[in-house]
Homo-oligomer: A and B are copies of this chain.
Amino acid sequence: MIFSSALIENAVSEFARLPGVGKKTALRLVLHLLKQDTAQVELFAEAIAKMRRQIKFCTTCHNVSDEDTCTICANASRNHKVVCVVESIRDVIAIENTQQFNGVYHVLGGIISPIDGIGPDQLQIHSLVERVQRDGVEEVIMALSPTIEGDTTIYYLSKKLKDYPVKVTTIARGIAFGGELEYADEMTLARSLTNRLPLDNYLQQGK
């Protein structure tokens, strides 16, 4: 693309670095910002720079945080004996949005994936084991993606935790709500049969 302004060209190419944003979309966003008040655009830019500059990671659960301890770990009304292990911050947000979980989290920062060169040492596994030991955690819930890498990580973690008096569980795999049985893959369908529920339990959850 040919621009008659280096300022515009620079802003467009910065936007185009973002995932899923091409040159045309970047230009559209830049021209939109050009129509906004300068003060409004400065707020936008400052919100982003400040976020990156000031963000911290919770020293307990490794979730993003404005302080050394995140609002979830600092919340005394949550159950600190139940720890939900997730891959990333995104998963914390997804689970928080369900408003169904009252425990705390542990963000691994990835999952074991030899093909991507990610081994246990790059993840927050040591600090999880330490936490279980130190805080007398009663249950560790593995909320990892149902992939080979996810299952490998679950297996590795369960071995690390087997010597401690802690219950290890994993979130249920099964047919998604609204999903069609015939389009489910065999593995999912097989697991949903193996882990079938008494109808009474199921009906109660629907209430």
Interface residues of A (CB under 8 A from B): 1-8, 10-11, 14-15, 17-21, 25, 27-34, 36, 38, 41-55, 63-66, 70-72, 88-90, 92-93, 96-97, 99
* Contact status B10-A51, CB under 8 Å: yes
DSSP majority for the A interface? Answer: helix
A99 CB to closest chain B CB (Å) equals 8
A187 CB to closest chain B CB (Å) equals 27
Copies in the complex: 2
A8 to B53, CA, bound (A): 11
Residue of B nearest to A75 (CB): B4
* Contact status A25-B20, CB under 8 Å: yes
B-chain residues with CB within 8 Å of residue A99 when the two chains form the complex: 2
A34 to B49, CA, bound (A): 10
